[in-house]
């Protein structure tokens, strides 16, 4: 069992800020874990930042299982959380359970679903059978068609009510935390005060129990990032520069350098061996 458990995440509320970052493969998960991040999250943002999709609606269970498996192999300390993709839990509670089980069997410690009140029954069932669940409200990208795009949530009374209703339903059903995505900071603060489970914000201001960001956004892999992102690195420039140098070195013969290859010191010895090998090969077909 990993060191960071859903119980520990719950206990961090009001004591210590929770850190969460997405990771979709072995090397990024390894680095996130070594950096001491609390939750390494295989998000369905995978579809957009890794596969180049326009939205998250085409991410399949198969993709989530593959990537969860790679991430789970790398992480020793952090909690490994896997997203339930669009269409994997909405049709029936039974199907939701079956798909959550697949993610746990791929190595996740917990699953995340978008929404709250609509899935109270599923969350309760999963928790009862031993699968920890994190909810997600505010901007829920799997519903972006209905929401009318990726936009700030919580401006109207109705939206505030829906966000609160989701968070409370998740708390009631036994979820161990809830993501609040792109809500007005005052709404995130209200929810954080109103529920006993930790709130993890993304684009929702500072008055929450933790923060989550997408790997490619925070590391500057892409030029364009959502307005709430702080870029902690400019990996795009670093990677491009490295690739251009590599290309230049190969073209000009600078790579490989003398330290990157091995040769026979005794060239006569090599010629003898090569000649024998050539004779043995002759013109015979290899079959
Ligand atoms: O899939 C994802 O990356 C997410 C985060 C934005 C929380 O759901």
What CATH number does the domain containing 109 carry?
3.20.20.60
257 shares a domain with 179 = no
263 shares a domain with 171 = no
The answer to whether the CB of 200 falls within 8 A of the CB of 180 is yes
Q: Using a 6 Å CB cutoff, which residues line ligand 1?
A: 22, 43-45, 83, 179, 181, 202, 212, 214
- 228 in a domain, yes or no? no
- 226 in a domain, yes or no? no
Q: What pLDDT does 182 receive?
A: 97
Q: How many domains would you assign to the chain?
A: 2
242 Cβ neighbours under 8 A, 6+ residues apart: none
More confident residue, 172 or 286: 172
Which of the residue ranges 12-16, 148-152, 169-173 would you say has the lowest mean pLDDT? 148-152
243 shares a domain with 205 = no
CA of 250 to the centre of ligand 1 (A): 39
| Kind and range of the H or E run holding 136 | strand 133-138
189 shares a domain with 267 = no
Q: What pLDDT does 23 receive?
A: 98
- 144 in a domain, yes or no? yes
Q: What pLDDT does 282 receive?
A: 86
For the stretch 102-153, pLDDT in tens is 999 999 999 999 999 999 999 999 999 999 999 999 999 999 898 888 899 9
- 119 in a domain, yes or no? yes
Which of 218, 253, 268 delimits the end of a domain?
218
| Kind and range of the H or E run holding 177 | strand 177-181
- 1 in a domain, yes or no? no
Work out the mean pLDDT of the chain and round it to a whole number.
97
- 286 in a domain, yes or no? no
286 pLDDT tier (thresholds 50, 70, 90)? low
For the stretch 19-40, pLDDT in tens is 999 999 999 999 999 999 999 9
205: domain range? 6-218
- 259 in a domain, yes or no? yes
109 shares a domain with 77 = yes
188 shares a domain with 111 = yes
122 shares a domain with 262 = no
- Which residue has the least CA distance to atom 1 on ligand 1? 43
86 shares a domain with 155 = yes
State the closest ligand 1 atom to the C-alpha of 112, by its place in the atom list counted from 1.
8
DSSP letters, 211-257, are EEE-HHHHTTSSS---TTPPPS--HHHHHHHHHHHHHHHHHHT-SS-
- Hey, CA dihedral for 56, 205, 165, 103, is it positive or negative? positive
- 232 in a domain, yes or no? no
244 shares a domain with 200 = no
pTM listed for this prediction:
0.95
CB burial class (10 A; 0-12, 13-18, 19+) of residue 176?
buried
182 shares a domain with 108 = yes
- Hey, CA dihedral for 7, 24, 188, 191, is it positive or negative? negative
Q: What pLDDT does 287 receive?
A: 67
Q: What pLDDT does 148 receive?
A: 85
66 Cβ neighbours under 8 A, 6+ residues apart: none
């Amino acid at each position: 069992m990993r060191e960071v458990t859903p119980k520990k995440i719950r206990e961090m509320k009001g004591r210590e800020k929770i850190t969460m970052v997405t990771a979709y493969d072995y090397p990024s998960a390894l680095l996130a874990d070594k950096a001491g991040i609390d939750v390494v999250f295989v998000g369905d943002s995978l579809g957009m930042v890794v596969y180049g999709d326009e939205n998250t609606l085409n991410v399949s269970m198969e993709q989530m299982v593959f990537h969860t498996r790679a991430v789970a192999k790398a992480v020793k300390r952090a909690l490994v959380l896997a997203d339930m993709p669009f269409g994997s839990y909405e049709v029936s509670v039974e199907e939701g359970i079956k798909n959550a089980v697949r993610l746990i069997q791929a190595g996740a410690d917990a699953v995340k679903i978008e929404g709250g009140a609509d899935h109270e029954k599923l969350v309760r069932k999963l928790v009862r059978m031993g699968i920890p669940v994190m909810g997600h409200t505010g901007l829920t990208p799997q519903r972006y068609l209905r929401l009318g795009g990726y936009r700030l949530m919580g401006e109207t009374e109705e939206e505030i009510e829906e966000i609160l209703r989701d968070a409370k339903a998740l708390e009631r059903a036994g979820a161990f935390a809830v993501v609040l995505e792109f809500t007005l900071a005052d709404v995130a603060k209200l929810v954080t005060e109103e529920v006993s489970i930790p709130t993890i914000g993304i684009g929702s201001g500072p008055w929450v129990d933790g923060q989550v960001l997408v790997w490619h956004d925070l590391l500057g892999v892409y030029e364009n990032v959502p307005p709430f992102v702080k870029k902690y690195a400019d990996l795009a420039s670093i990677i491009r520069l490295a690739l251009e140098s590599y290309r230049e070195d190969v073209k000009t013969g600078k790579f490989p350098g003398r330290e990157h290859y091995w040769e026979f010191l005794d060239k006569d010895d090599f010629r003898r061996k090569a000649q024998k090998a050539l004779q043995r090969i002759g013109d015979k077909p290899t079959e």
